[in-house]
Structure formats: C-alpha cells, structure tokens
Amino acid sequence: MYGVRREKYILQLEIEIRRLDNIIRFLRMVISGEIVIMKISQKDLINILAEKKFDKHENSYSYLYMIPAVQLTTDNMEKRDREASEKKRILNDYKKQSPEQLWISELDELEKFI
C-alpha cells in the first residue's frame, strides 16, 4: 500500500515541479521580452508556447497565458523559483525513503500528536 502511495505522490510532485518550471521559464521570457504577450492573438500566443516547447497542463496552456499581468514580475518569478526548489527538495527526500521508511516516519509523526 505504501509503495503505491509513494509512487503516486512522487508522480504528483514531478508534475507540479514541471508546471512550476514552465511558469518560471515563461515569466523569464516575458520579463526579458523574448515572448511578447501584448497585442497578439491567443492563437498566436499558443503557437509560440508550443514552438518554445512549453508543457501543456490538463491539455492547455492556460496556466501560463492566464497569469494576471500584475504577477508578470521578477518578484513572482523568484517566489515561484523558491516554491519549485522546495518541491524538488521534498521530492528528493521522498525518493530516498522506502515504503517501509515512509510508514515508520508517518507513525513517528502520528505519535507526536498522541
């Protein structure tokens, strides 16, 4: 049971990390002017995102082109970068644990609340 749960959680983290990495790359490209999002059609923007090999999330690029303009900042990019770094650390730690170690560590956490 913990083996299946561990693999699902690892997959979930990997998907979230890829999504964050794409957001960070998109923000960098918009901030640098490499991708211009103003005065172009949504269709053209989608073509640019596909050309630049961004990943779709839930079969869409909307997670990128729907970012509010106020969040197209270096501050938000740095925040997302820190978030991605933390997720990568969690993923690396999680991958190091066997299902048995995971079970034991969760039992230890549970004991703290008892």
Averaged pLDDT, 21-50:
97
Please provide the average confidence, as pLDDT, over all residues in the chain: 95
Query: d(Cα 68, Cα 32) in Å, to the nearest integer?
Result: 17
Give the least confident one: 47-51, 61-65, 74-78, 97-101: 97-101
Q: What pLDDT, in 10s, does the model give residues 3-21?
A: 898 999 999 999 999 999 9
Rg (CA), the chain: 18
Give me the count of residues in the chain: 114
User: Candidates 3.30.1330.10, 3.40.50.300, 1.10.268.10, 1.10.443.10; correct CATH number of 2-112?
Assistant: 1.10.268.10
Note the pLDDT of residue 27.
Answer: 98
Query: d(Cα 22, Cα 56) in Å, to the nearest integer?
Result: 9
Note the pLDDT of residue 20.
Answer: 98
